[in-house]
Amino acid sequence: MTAPTADLSRLTLGTAPDSWGVWFASDPHQVGWKQYLDEIAIAGYRYTELGPQGFMPQDPEQLKDELAARGLTVCGGTVFAGLHKGVDALETAKRTFGQEARLLAAVGAKYLVHLPEQWTDMHTGEAVQDAEIDPEQWKNLTTGTNELARYLFEEFGIHLVFHPHVDTHVDTQERIERFLLDTDPEHVNLCLDTGHVAYCDGDNVQIVERFPERVTYVHLKSVDPAVRRRALDEKLPLSEAVKLGVMCEPWDGEPHMPTFLDAVARLDRDIYTVVEQDLYPVEPHVPLPIGARTAGYYAGCGLRPVRRWPS
């Protein structure tokens, strides 16, 4: 007998500047924040992340006005940190994450996504540090994440969610599970990015089932299996794989999204499910139709809200 489909009503659909090709605060090969906000509203989204630190207006009142004019709400932000590097890196992270947390709190958001620092350059793909870290560096990463998460919650009421990522030191399912076992479940939880897990041949549903209390935020991303295989076989950096189209539209890739969404919905709590499809670098006319199709796909899966025009 087939199990009944889970109720997706507690999963909230959003999107992120990454889905419009935005990787940096400012770059000639990506769209600006005004185009991004205009177009996600046109595509049907009502919730958004802030994107790379500095991409959106940093004045809270200006940001509130720009969001309100388009009927948008912020669900989270993202900041990179190399906490494996030790005390100095942690102190830097407290400043940069604290700045972002202040802005998030001012606009009513509660989640800050911690992206571990890549060991490849995001522009060139060149290796800029070792791909492996030693036990002391791993301890720096886990204890530093614990301390940073406690700081953000105690000072700003912001929840830190850790984002496993290709070309970082927490990429494979084995490393993700080890990270979760080595960090404080009270303050450190997971932004489960389906694309990064699938890229590294992990099982997203299995992670949800093994660590149900730790999956508190989700990035929806899909991987083209043929491009992934080429990238892994040729040992390409993520930046090159993205240019080849490794992150694809959801009906065309892995994981199988209805199955994954069913597993997350069975957690039976409020969770943001935020679309991310890496497109950098991209021509400015490209993201909107992709974003609109993707919003329609997830609405078809049962995720909400998706606005209908005119509204």
119 pLDDT band (50/70/90 cuts)?
confident
**Dihedral sign from CA coordinates of 229, 235, 238, 242:** negative
Cβ atoms of residues 16 and 274 within 8 Å: yes
Structure tokens at 166: 């290709």
Q: Tell which wins on pLDDT, 143 or 130.
A: 143
- Tens digit of pLDDT for each residue in 64-87? 999 999 999 999 999 999 999 999
How confident is the model at residue 308, as a pLDDT?
Answer: 80
How confident is the model at residue 310, as a pLDDT?
Answer: 58
- What one-character DSSP code corresponds to residue 114? E
- Report the C-alpha gap between 247 and 161 in whole angstroms: 22
Instruction: Report the pLDDT averaged over residues 3-30.
Output: 92
CA angle 30, 33, 37 (to 5 degrees): 115
Residue 311 has pLDDT above 70, yes or no: no
How confident is the model at residue 1, as a pLDDT?
Answer: 41
How confident is the model at residue 193, as a pLDDT?
Answer: 98
- Report the C-alpha gap between 254 and 241 in whole angstroms: 15
Domain chopping of the chain, boundaries = 11-301
- Report the C-alpha gap between 190 and 276 in whole angstroms: 16
How confident is the model at residue 2, as a pLDDT?
Answer: 47
Instruction: Report the pLDDT averaged over residues 199-204.
Output: 97
How confident is the model at residue 137, as a pLDDT?
Answer: 97
- Report the C-alpha gap between 257 and 250 in whole angstroms: 7
Instruction: Report the pLDDT averaged over residues 256-264.
Output: 98
Distances in Å between the Cα of 165 and the Cα atoms of 80, 169, 310 are 11, 8, 38
Spatial CB neighbours of 187, under 8 Å, sequence gap ≥ 6: 146, 149, 150, 153, 159, 160
Percent pLDDT > 90 in the chain is 92
3-state helix, strand, coil in the chain (%, to 5): 45, 15, 40
Q: Tell which wins on pLDDT, 201 or 1.
A: 201
- Report the C-alpha gap between 93 and 288 in whole angstroms: 33
4 pLDDT band (50/70/90 cuts)?
low
Instruction: Report the pLDDT averaged over residues 154-170.
Output: 97
How confident is the model at residue 3, as a pLDDT?
Answer: 52
- Report the C-alpha gap between 93 and 253 in whole angstroms: 34
Which of 117-131, 142-156, 157-171, 199-213 bottoms out in mean pLDDT, i.e. has the lowest? 117-131
Domain made up of 11-301: CATH architecture: Alpha-Beta Barrel (3.20)
